[in-house]
Chain A
């Protein structure tokens, strides 16, 4: 566990030692705020909740999370520090988990900093704060799912641009697979796939959370989704670390 904690600490501090943290957080807050108030019609809806915010977060994360994960392993390989990290006495899974958890904690910081929205709805109306809390939990789980995808893809390449583009593409598949267009297309042409596509969609899973429903099935889905991708991440590092 010591190795994991040391890696976590180093990685988490690294976000704030470079402009990555500032740029990410400022862009995330600006975009999520703007989208909530304009496209989301926060005021015109006349309803005291954060539904419009929760609706946009997974689509923002779709681009912003791969921007975090693209450097995770690709950078280590480019700098050669992967050789240093993996010859320290720690098991590979500790390095993988430490990096993932640090990135996740960083996303949590970004989400926490959207608190003015919570304050705003509480000033303007009487929202159900329990629903808001589960909505945030859902957003955090979506971030974790995208992070695990992005981290695994970053382990496959030295090139950060490739890592970014591939991660966005793969995350998009899991984000869009529950959307009306995709489901309609599938049920018309490949009906046996439509249920699977809906079940694998992270945005579909988030709907429950943003309505205040935390189901065991959804929690298990996110936990196993992240676990599978972290396992793939470990395999990718193991097999490609020295290339």
Chain B
């Protein structure tokens, strides 16, 4: 097993506040890592540093062996990233937006059309392809963001709350999609929903106040207490007390 994501003692300080404190982990091909934690625990900050958007105060991250600080463009080429809140350009159509992402990624002509088609099919956006993104519901916007992350079939996927705002059917679809892609990729998803972790993740990391407090399989975590819920509360609240 080769680690496609390597995070080494990653830290981020905002003034005196330590948002992420010496976080280290690796994710290998075939793994789906659930990144759990209460709001403000440092999940999004860690993912932003991994995606090369935020510069770490210390430590580093590598994607497919490329350091996100030293060779950011190569690292980003191997990464599909869904930022928190799935931001998209509101005035663009779904197709136009995906074509823009494909063009930045170096596709053109028929290859570009094929990539856009593929992403639209994967995220089930056929019905809204010519609509401006601003006219879409929250669930569709999230799927546009997801389509953008999957467009180039990257070996590494980092998805910040991919199922937030989706209805139960769409959640199920997205989980199925992640499960189908899992054998070929290294995937990190952050979530608040604990059942999601038992449903699709092969491994879970719980982070609280910027530190990793647990790194185990979902079954292993659940076995530590009465339920996954109870274990999560115990780890994250116990730390705060």
Q: Which A residues lie at the B interface, using CB under 8 A? A: 2-3, 5-7, 9-10, 13-14, 17-18, 79-81, 83-84, 86-91, 241-242
- Contact residues in B for A3 (Cβ distance below 8 Å): 104
Tell me, rounded to whole Å, the shortest Cβ–Cβ distance linking A76 to chain B.
Answer: 9
CA distance in complex: A54, B155 (Å): 55
A79-B77 CB under 8 A given contacts A2-B103, A87-B51: no
Size bracket of the B interface: 20 to 34
User: Can you list 30 pairs linking A and B with CB atoms under 8 Å apart?
Assistant: A2-B103, A3-B104, A6-B100, A10-B89, A10-B92, A10-B100, A13-B96, A14-B89, A14-B92, A17-B132, A79-B89, A80-B85, A80-B87, A81-B88, A83-B48, A83-B53, A83-B83, A83-B84, A84-B81, A84-B148, A87-B79, A87-B81, A87-B83, A88-B101, A89-B76, A89-B105, A90-B73, A90-B104, A91-B72, A242-B54
CA distance in complex: A80, B92 (Å): 15
Task: With a 10 A CB-CB cut-off, give which of B85, B96, B104 has the most chain A CB atoms.
Answer: B104
Tell me, rounded to whole Å, the shortest Cβ–Cβ distance linking A3 to chain B.
Answer: 5
* Contact, CB under 8 Å: A9 / B48: no
CA distance in complex: A13, B72 (Å): 28
- Contact residues in A for B81 (Cβ distance below 8 Å): 84, 87
* Contact, CB under 8 Å: B104 / A84: no
CA distance in complex: A79, B105 (Å): 22
- Contact residues in A for B88 (Cβ distance below 8 Å): 81, 84
Question: Does B183 reach chain A (CB closer than 8 Å)?
Answer: no
User: Which of chain A's residues has its CB closest to B152's CB?
Assistant: A89
User: Which of chain B's residues has its CB closest to A86's CB?
Assistant: B53
User: Which of chain A's residues has its CB closest to B45's CB?
Assistant: A242
CA distance in complex: A29, B148 (Å): 39
- Contact residues in B for A2 (Cβ distance below 8 Å): 103-104, 106
Question: Does B90 reach chain A (CB closer than 8 Å)?
Answer: yes
* Contact, CB under 8 Å: B87 / A18: no
Q: Which 7 A-B pairs have the closest CB atoms?
A: A80-B87, A6-B103, A89-B76, A83-B83, A89-B77, A6-B104, A242-B54
- Contact residues in B for A6 (Cβ distance below 8 Å): 100, 103-104
Question: Does B239 reach chain A (CB closer than 8 Å)?
Answer: no
Tell me, rounded to whole Å, the shortest Cβ–Cβ distance linking B71 to chain A.
Answer: 11
- Contact residues in B for A84 (Cβ distance below 8 Å): 81, 83, 87-88, 145, 148
Tell me, rounded to whole Å, the shortest Cβ–Cβ distance linking B238 to chain A.
Answer: 30
